[in-house]
Amino acid sequence: MNAIIISAFMGVVMMFSSWGTSSIKLQRNIGLLGMLLLIGANIAHLTGVWVIEFDTKGMLVFNRIGLYANTILFVLTFIYMWINGEEIDKVGDHTHTADYYAIFFFILCGVSVLTSFDNLLMLFIGIEILSIPLYILTGADKKNLFSNEASLKYFLMGAFSTGILLLGITFIYGATGSFHLTAPVINPTTNMPVEHFLMSAGLILLFVALNFKVSAAPFHFWTPDVYDGAPTVFTSFMATVVKAAGFIAFIRVFEIQREALGYSWFIILPFVIVSTLLVGNITAVFQRSVKRMLAYSSIAQAGFMLFALYGRSIFNNEAILLYIVAYSLATIGVFAVLVKMKDYSFESFNGLAKKHPALALLTTIFLFSLAGIPLTAGFFAKYFMLNALLTAGAGLWLLIVAIVFAAVSVFYYFRLVQAMYFTSGEPAINEIDKKYEFKLWLIAAILIVLGVFPSLLFNYLYF
Amino acid sequence: MFLLLFLLIPVFAAILLLFVKKEQSVNTIAISAALVTLLGAVYIIISKTSSFDAAWLPLLNSRFTLQADGLAKILVLLTAISFPAIFIATSKNQPTQKNIFLSLMLLTQAGLMGVFLAGDALLFYFFWELALIPVYFLCSIWGGEKRIAVTFKFFIYTFLGSLFMLIGIILVYSHTGDQSFALASFKQAHLTSGMQLTAFALFFIAFAIKMPIFPLHTWQPDAYEQSPTAVTMVLSAVMVKMGLYGVIRWLMPLFPTAFIAHSNIVTLLSVIGILYASFIAIRQDDLKRLIAYSSIAHIGLMNAALFSHIQVGVQGVLVQLFSHGINVLGLWIVADIIEQQTGTRSMKDLGGLAKKQPTLAILLVGFAFANIALPLTNAFVGEFLMFNGLFQFNPWMAAAAGVSVILAAIYTLNMVQKIAYGEISAATNLMPAPNKNAQGVLIVLLVIVFFTGVYPQPLFNVTADTLQQLFVK
């Protein structure tokens, strides 16, 4: 409960802070302090030092995984804010900084609901709290038509998928008479779950709606346009923290409920996984703009994250958490470099290694992590996912499809490496100061440390 | 603990090099680091088997285990000899940003040492990939005209192969009794025969691409030709051994049933590859491509002998792992001197080397003999044993592979003839004074060639324990 209350409170504080002070720097610092407060409050809950308790009638259940996921997502948001502070100011002519931070906190409130709901109504509320501020962020660049278009598109598609979500919840209520996430009814003679038509239909609608949110194919069509149209700093946030929260919610719903779908789960999920990997990877290869390539790459990475849903495995939690950290940090890093570019074509990176060797090396580390090369966290993220998939009983063919697409992903990530190192040219990049570079080094250091000792992340999961 | 030095010395030297710009000190640091590693390698050869073990990933039960048995020792020795030899022989070359060039080379060395020493499957995979990354940059930055596309093809090929191996590792891991990545647990994994076949295939793809086995070899001649020669030396002297090493270390003990079941088809593919590469080598005019194809043929023979699974043949492979590295390194160094001094690799533009630089010509002839495996050279010992094994396995295959010896004589002697004899060509006439450093290295290598050719017993002694583990139950 700590995180939900503090984040909502901080959102309000940020809204009013633009009345209290006109100094953008101060507003930014209040935001960062608020973030630290939020992280602190959440850790206090996790360790049981200080807990605000309400009787939610079991609508919210705070377990260790959820709270730990909270901590990770908050820390990621903090890193994101800390690095991108100046770029966030720039969106909309330096006048709305406090508003953006308020929106971030409201989104985090939605995130905290999504990591702790045990009731489908709460799922709905969480998703709405998360989504509505996002529509605003997407359209934050008010004078840019692409940003407006993206915002409208996102809103319409998002509203549509929420409709499907609600329909699914209604069906499930019709079948069970309750909004609670309950274990499926087991037939004592066959030891298999009893299939109930309304329940199955409802779960499949829920599945579709959640796939929308995490942009898995064939429900991904909004993603490239929205990610491309939104201001680049905000794309970075949407593709990382928001997407990760979507996955946590997805897993919370289907961790147990998938069993109610019986065998059909093992048809629809692999179908979604394979089509997501196919669409994301193959389309990313043909992109001309780095930003659009990253949008498709985020679809492709979602395909890998879906592995954690497949079945029961002791590695599921580790896999999804590590994947979230590795993918988000690397993506935040690449976007942090991208916002400094004057245009987003691959050609604008030509010769970056000559002009900014350090920046080129950093970008390479981020891209290596996304591609899953050893010594970066991305490798162990992919490793744990494959391991989870295999121990959950998936066929070998699915793993082979996955790694073939992992190899395809090298094509588009390395195109950027090739542009930076092996093609000569004048990179179209804005000035970058040492402080900014230092922040990026920090991300790279985390990626490499987790790439050698991934266990560091899991120590707090159980103790 | 001692084994850790093989990783730490190159890595520290590599980091140090990033901050040193002066040409002279750059060379000194790289060469001395490589020589210290060589001393260490000599020490473990004469000392007893040693190992290093530390906790790494408790969650997965994977440990940072390094171990040096005969197989590892002989490849560590090869790696440790190759790098100083390469550094000294090419010390006169002037790549741009030489400090970074050498730094990446040393990182490659660390990766290779890790591959050969790892006693834990996940660690092995880790180093397997790490050895590849610096090479990718080395070839793409300092290579020839078509370097970017060619290196990318090489990278994608090997990366895809190693991902297959990763699935194989996960598959075997999930069937180990104690859920561990240790080599010993892998050997005792409970695999059904169907599972064994699958896991075998997954591992084998990675090794076959690395060696490479026909028809997965298409990346190799291009990559060898386009890479800077110092890197080509690493690729063909040491890096291809990773594939053979993988077969001996992982495939043979882990999947005995599947190994025997596939021996016919793999041996057949290898023999086809040997003949195919030999015939192509005859038609080559480019010196680098000729050596590249010749190397495919030799590696193919080693793989055929491995899969015949006859003790004497495998013994030959264990010796040849070392000998082939030394021989091909010698040939590459000669090729590099010729290219650097004449500016061409095309054999039709060369000629009369014997008159212009007699010492170099003699050294070339020495390594050419080793390439044909004439008696008294080290390759004779290995190839004799390998043919012996192959003959016991299947005389027809041995006969077909035996044709390659004749073909090797044709293309190698043809090469010697074109380069060393005849009138002094315009390109050869340009050659300045002999490169003393490189010639010194060549003389040392040639001494090793003839010493191990006449008295190979030390090599047999070193690898005896590996052979015993493989064949005595």
From first to last of its 473 residues, chain B has per-residue pLDDT tens of: 788 888 888 889 888 888 888 878 888 888 888 888 888 888 888 887 678 888 888 878 888 888 888 888 899 999 999 999 998 888 877 777 888 888 999 999 999 999 999 988 999 998 998 888 999 988 888 877 788 888 888 888 899 999 999 999 988 988 888 888 888 888 888 888 888 889 999 999 999 998 888 888 888 888 888 888 888 889 888 998 999 999 998 988 888 888 888 888 999 999 999 999 999 999 888 888 898 889 888 999 999 998 988 888 889 999 999 999 999 999 999 888 888 888 888 888 888 888 888 888 889 899 999 988 888 888 888 889 999 988 998 889 888 888 888 999 999 998 888 888 888 887 777 778 778 888 888 999 999 999 988 898 888 888 888 888 888 75
Element (H, E) at A24: helix A24-47
Phi, psi of B13, rounded to the nearest 5 degrees: -60, -40
Please give the radius of gyration of chain A, using alpha carbons only, rounded to the nearest integer: 21
Is residue A386 within 8 A of residue B166, CB to CB? The reply is yes
Q: Does B164 lie at the interface with A, CB-CB under 8 angstroms?
A: yes
Tens digits of residue pLDDT in A86-133:
888 888 777 888 889 999 999 999 999 999 999 999 999 999 999 999
* Interface list for chain A against chain B, based on CB atoms closer than 8 Å: 318, 368, 373-375, 379, 383, 386-387, 390-391, 396, 399-400, 403-404, 406-407, 410-411, 414, 418, 421-422, 453-455, 458
Of the listed ranges A56-70, A182-196, A320-334, the one predicted with least confidence: A182-196
Q: Which residue has the tokens 């035996």?
A: B402
Cα(B259)–Cα(A3) distance, integer angstroms:
57
Cα(A362)–Cα(A322) distance, integer angstroms:
20
Give the count of Cβ contacts less than 8 A between chain A and B: 67
For A203, B309, B315, the CA distances from B389, given in Å and listed in that order, are 63, 8, 9
Find all residues with CB under 8 Å of A450, minimum gap 6, and list them: A322, A325, A326, A377, A380, A456, A457
Q: Read off the tokens for B258.
A: 């599947």
Find all residues with CB under 8 Å of B235, minimum gap 6, and list them: B135, B223, B224, B227
For B43, B219, B220, B226, B320, the CA distances from B150, given in Å and listed in that order, are 39, 7, 9, 7, 29
Beta-carbon separation of A410 and B156 below 8 A:
yes
Give the side-chain half-sphere CA count within 13 A for B59: 18
Task: Give residue B25's pLDDT.
Answer: 84
Q: Read off the tokens for A131.
A: 């989504």
Task: Give residue A129's pLDDT.
Answer: 93
Find all residues with CB under 8 Å of B397, minimum gap 6, and list them: B267, B268, B271, B304, B308, B390
**SS3 of residue A117 by DSSP:** strand
Is residue B178 within 8 A of residue B187, CB to CB? The reply is no
Q: Read off the tokens for A282.
A: 């193959």
Q: Read off the tokens for B365.
A: 């002839």
Rounded average pLDDT over A163-173: 93
* Within-domain flag for B18: no
Q: What is the dihedral of CA B463, B111, B299, B42, to 10 degrees?
A: -30
* Within-domain flag for B148: no
0.90 exceeded by the pTM?
yes
Q: For residue B226, which of A349, A422, A368 has the smallest C-alpha distance?
A: A422
By C-alpha distance, the chain B residue nearest A408 is B156
**SS3 of residue A119 by DSSP:** strand
Is residue B202 within 8 A of residue A400, CB to CB? The reply is no
* Within-domain flag for B377: yes
The number of angstroms, rounded, from the C-alpha of A302 to the middle of its chain's C-alpha atoms is 9
**SS3 of residue A242 by DSSP:** helix
Is residue B374 within 8 A of residue B380, CB to CB? The reply is yes
Identify any residues that bridge with B182 across adjacent strands, giving them in sequence order.
B120
| Closest approach of A423 to chain B, Cα-based (Å) | 9
Res A270 pLDDT > 90: yes
The pLDDT-based confidence of A430 (bands split at 50, 70, 90) is: confident
Beta-carbon separation of A422 and B167 below 8 A:
no
Cα(A14)–Cα(B91) distance, integer angstroms:
63
A293-296 own/partner pairs: CB under 8 Å, 24+ apart: A293/A346, A293/A412, A294/A227, A294/A235, A294/A239, A294/A331, A294/A334, A294/A335, A294/A338, A295/A223, A295/A224, A295/A227, A295/A228, A295/A235, A295/A239, A296/A223, A296/A224, A296/A412
By C-alpha distance, the chain A residue nearest B142 is A422
Domain count, chain B: 1
Find all residues with CB under 8 Å of B48, minimum gap 6, and list them: none
* Within-domain flag for B472: yes
Phi, psi of A60, rounded to the nearest 5 degrees: -120, 130
For A123, A312, A422, B210, the CA distances from B138, given in Å and listed in that order, are 51, 44, 11, 18
Contacts B126 to A, Cβ<8 Å: 374-375
Is residue B54 within 8 A of residue B449, CB to CB? The reply is no
- First-to-last alpha carbon distance for chain B, in angstroms, is 30
ipTM of the complex: 0.89
* Within-domain flag for B380: yes
Task: Give residue A462's pLDDT.
Answer: 66
**SS3 of residue B434 by DSSP:** coil
Beta-carbon separation of B156 and A373 below 8 A:
no
| Closest approach of A404 to chain B, Cα-based (Å) | 7
Tens digits of residue pLDDT in B181-194:
888 888 888 888 88
Quickly count: other Cβ atoms within 10 Å of residue B59's Cβ.
Answer: 15
**SS3 of residue A404 by DSSP:** helix
Q: Read off the tokens for B55.
A: 């906790």
- Residue B430, sorted as left (phi over 0), alpha (psi -120 to 50) or beta, turns out to be alpha
Nearest to B167 among A400, A421, A458 (CB): A400
* Within-domain flag for B394: yes
| Closest approach of B156 to chain A, Cα-based (Å) | 7
Identify the domain containing residue B434 by its residue range.
260-473
DSSP secondary-structure letter at B425? P
Is residue B134 within 8 A of residue B151, CB to CB? The reply is no
Cα(B133)–Cα(B130) distance, integer angstroms:
5
By C-alpha distance, the chain A residue nearest B145 is A422
Beta-carbon separation of B148 and A418 below 8 A:
yes
Q: Does B140 lie at the interface with A, CB-CB under 8 angstroms?
A: yes
Contacts A373 to B, Cβ<8 Å: 129, 133
Cα(A60)–Cα(A183) distance, integer angstroms:
16
Instruction: Give the CA angle between residues A285, A384, A337 to the nearest 5°.
Output: 45
Q: For residue B78, which of B319, B243, B376 has the smallest C-alpha distance?
A: B319
